[in-house]
Structure 1
Amino acid sequence: MNAQDCTLYHGGLKGAETLFGENTEKYGIQEVIFTFENHRLNRDRNPVVLTEEELQRGDISMELASRMMNRTYYETEKIRRVLQTIFHMVNKGHQVFVIGTILEDNSVKGGTGWAVELAKLFNRPLHVYDQLRRQWFTWKEGAWQEDSPKICYNTFVGSGTRYLSDDGIAAINQLFADSFAQQ
């Protein structure tokens, strides 16, 4: 696969998303950052500011999101906008990579968990680097299985924690090196 034919979708936040973006720049991959009006980005290379109409296409009941992720989300406009934006990332990117922590209920900690739940719902190839276990896992047959994934599709999502460990940093860098080493 040719890196120049690929596109990364993310939200431009500090931590995992910024490092995914920096790697796309290094490897010559296209990058699209989905955001909304008045949302502060850490990385702003090629941002797409979603309109109100576009955001509404990604709208979800906060009750449903809370139930799917086994946690409580209150009706705050910013959280709703972030979840709507994540919908657009996962809808556009075929393969999903996340850096975070897999919880006992198979969800992923934090807002990043919404990208994971949508990837499951949309039946996308889904990979999570669990910083606590220092290992990549792929969602297969309804369970997390240890894996060493590569970027295999022309469109992909990079998301995750704002608080990257050294192992999380190394995992993202190695993912790109393994996927595009020949270029």
Structure 2
Amino acid sequence: MTDRSHITLYSGGHKGAESEFGQLAEQWGIQEVNFSFDGHTSIQRTRGMKVLDPEELDKGNVSMEIVSARMGRKFAHANKIRKVIQSIFHMVNNGYHVLAVGWIQPDDTVKGGTGWGVELAKLFNRPVHVYDQERNGWFTWKDNAWTAEVPELDRDTFVGTGTRNLTAEGKQAIHDFFTRAFGPA
């Protein structure tokens, strides 16, 4: 088996896509870091858990008005989602390539909290790829537009994020990504 221990997945460890990325990282022998915070109860992956203290969380703080404007939507429970938004910053700040599974919307944002990770990747000029579960294909953000393209890694860090409502096709897309990027498990 090829040594993949120098490769790191950054995620949040939630049910669905993030949990799937984590399970496969473990299966492939890839390091895994899952960002969380005190009081966060919906995490499924505890391998490599990094609990962010208030000072660390604050590094990812951004005005919810900015998040709302960038995402083109309002957040009814802004205080509840703030820590999640802050932890997503740490995922994208640490990983280079950003891979997400969800739904690309007509305004080119991605549905849900996953969309903030995608928007940060765009802002940070990181390679960002989304598996759109409606169109059943990978899309890469290039020249301010989504282009059908299968993701390839050229660095040893990546972010795996996405919807909690992972379809069988989304799960297969993540598995196929690991096989293409890292060879057989």
TM-score (norm 2): 0.95
Show the counterpart of 1:179: 181
RMSD: 1.3
For residue 5 of structure 1, report the CA deviation from its aligned partner: 1.2
Q: 1:164 aligns with which of 140, 163, 166?
A: 166
What CA distance in whole angstroms lies between the structure 2 residues aligned with 1:19 and 1:38?
23
Detail structure 1 runs of 4+ shifted over 3 Å in the superposition: none
5 Å-filtered alignment, 1:98-117, equals 98-117=100-119
**What pairs with 1:30-109 in structure 2 (closer than 5 Å)?**
30-40=31-41, 41-74=43-76, 76-109=78-111
Instruction: Give the Å deviation of 1:154.
Output: 0.7
Q: Percent identity?
A: 51
SS of the residue aligned with 1:22? helix
Residue identity opposite 1:153 in structure 2: R
Output the amino acid matched with 1:20.
F
SS at match of 2:99: strand
Do the aligned residues in 2 keep the contact of 1:20 with 1:172 (CA within 8 Å)? yes
Question: Distance between the aligned counterparts of 1:123 and 1:74, measured in 2?
Answer: 29
Counterpart-to-counterpart distance in 1, 2:142 and 2:78: 33
1:119-168, Cα deviation, whole Å (9 max, x unpaired): 00000000000000000000001000001112332111000000111100
Q: Tell me the residue number matched to 1:120.
A: 122
Number of residue equivalences: 183
Match of 1:12, SS state, is coil
> CA, structure 1 residues 2+95, in 2 after alignment: closer, same or farther (shift >3 Å)?
farther
Aligned position for 1:3: 4
Of 76-85 and 27-36, the range deviating more from structure 2: 76-85
Measured against aligned partners, the alpha-carbon deviations of 1:82-112 in whole angstroms (never above 9, x if no partner) come to 0000000000000000000000000000010
CA distance in 2, matches of 1:164, 1:182: 23
Q: 1:42 to 1:182 in 2, by over 3 A?
A: closer
